[in-house]
Amino acid sequence: MNAASNRKHVGHVVGIWRYPVKSMGAEALEDADVSWFGVQGDRRWAFVRDNANRSDFPWLTIRERNDMNQYLPSFANPSRPDKSPTLVRTPSGTVMDVTESRLAEELYPRGTRVIRQNRGVFDTFPLSLITTQTISELGASVGTELDVQRFRPNFLIEATGGSPFQEDEWVGCEIQIGGLRMRVDIRDSRCAVITVDPVTAERKPEILRTVVNERQGCLGVYATTVEPGQLALGDKVFLQPAT
C-alpha cells in the first residue's frame, strides 16, 4: 500500500496569515509559498528590548505592549517580501518604514531596536495551525466569541466533524495541503498573549487560565516543513499517519 492510499481527509483551509513583524498585526493571504523557514515573509523582523539583552526572551511583544497587534505591517511588494521594504501603519494612521527610529521610540520609549532575520524569528517552530472547532470550544468555555488573531496562527483549519482539539491527534503525523507537506511536531504552549483582545487591546486573564486548567496550557499545534510548496484558501487538508 502506498502512502497516498493511507492518507485521510481531515479538513480544509479557511485562513492563511503571515506576520511580517513579530507580535504586530497579521497580513491575511489568499495563498502562500512555504519554504523551509515557514511562510514567505513571516516574522522576518522583530524588535529587541534594550533592557533585556541578556534575557532568554528579549523580544518586544504584545506582553509588553497590549496594542502592538494594532500596528499593521505590510510589504511594498507582497510577492517578493525578501526584496521589499516593510511598511508599518500605526494605530494613528501614520505609515513608517519598519527601520525608522521614530517607530522604535513610539513602540518602547525605554529603548528597543529592530532586527531582520531571513530565517524568521520564531519562538519554537516556523509553522502553526489551529482548528475553528478548537477556538469555538474555548470561546464557549470562557463565555465569549474569540477572535482567531488571539492565537496568531499561520493556518486556520475547518476540521471535518464537529469535535474540537482534533489537531492534538495530528502530532507526529505529516499533513499535506496543496503542494506543502509538513510534520506536526508538538502542541502549542500558550502564554499571556492570548489574553489580549487584538481589537480592543483589553486583557482577559481567564482565557489563559482556562487553557492551563483544561488543556495543559496548550492550544493548536506547531509544525515544520517536510516539502516546501504553495497552499491556498479552500485547499483540503490530508493527514498521513506516522509509520
pLDDT of the residue at 243: 66
Residue 97 DSSP one-character state: E
SS3 for 35? strand
Q: Mind listing the pLDDT tens digit for each residue in 194-215?
A: 999 999 999 999 999 999 999 9
- Map out the domains of the chain as residue ranges: 3-240
Across the chain, mean pLDDT equals 94
* Cβ atoms of residues 71 and 89 within 8 Å: yes
Q: In whole angstroms, what is the distance from residue 98 CA to residue 35 CA? A: 23
Residue 53 has pLDDT above 90, yes or no: no
Residue 167 has pLDDT above 90, yes or no: yes
pLDDT of the residue at 57: 83
Fold (topology level) of 3-240: M1 Pyruvate Kinase; Domain 3 (2.40.33)
Q: Mind listing the pLDDT tens digit for each residue in 107-156?
A: 999 999 999 999 999 999 999 999 999 999 999 999 999 999 999 999 99
Phi, psi of 74 (to 5 degrees): -155, 165
C-alpha cell at 178: 496543496
pLDDT of the residue at 176: 97
In the numeric block, the cell 493548536 is attached to: 220
How many CA atoms are closer than 13 Å to the CA of 224, on its beta-carbon side?
Answer: 10
What contacts 102, CB < 8 A, 6 or more positions away?
Answer: 96
pLDDT of the residue at 64: 93
* Cβ atoms of residues 110 and 51 within 8 Å: yes
C-alpha cell at 145: 466569541
2 band by pLDDT with thresholds 50, 70 and 90: low
In this structure, the chain runs to a length of 243
* Cβ atoms of residues 123 and 96 within 8 Å: no
Q: What percent of the chain is modeled with pLDDT above 70? A: 96
3-state helix, strand, coil in the chain (%, to 5): 25, 35, 40
pLDDT of the residue at 4: 62
- For the chain, the farthest-separated pair of C-alpha atoms sits apart, in whole angstroms, at 61
Q: Mind listing the pLDDT tens digit for each residue in 65-76?
A: 999 999 999 998
pTM (2 decimals)? 0.94
Residue 1 has pLDDT above 60, yes or no: no
Alpha-carbon 107 to chain mean position: 21
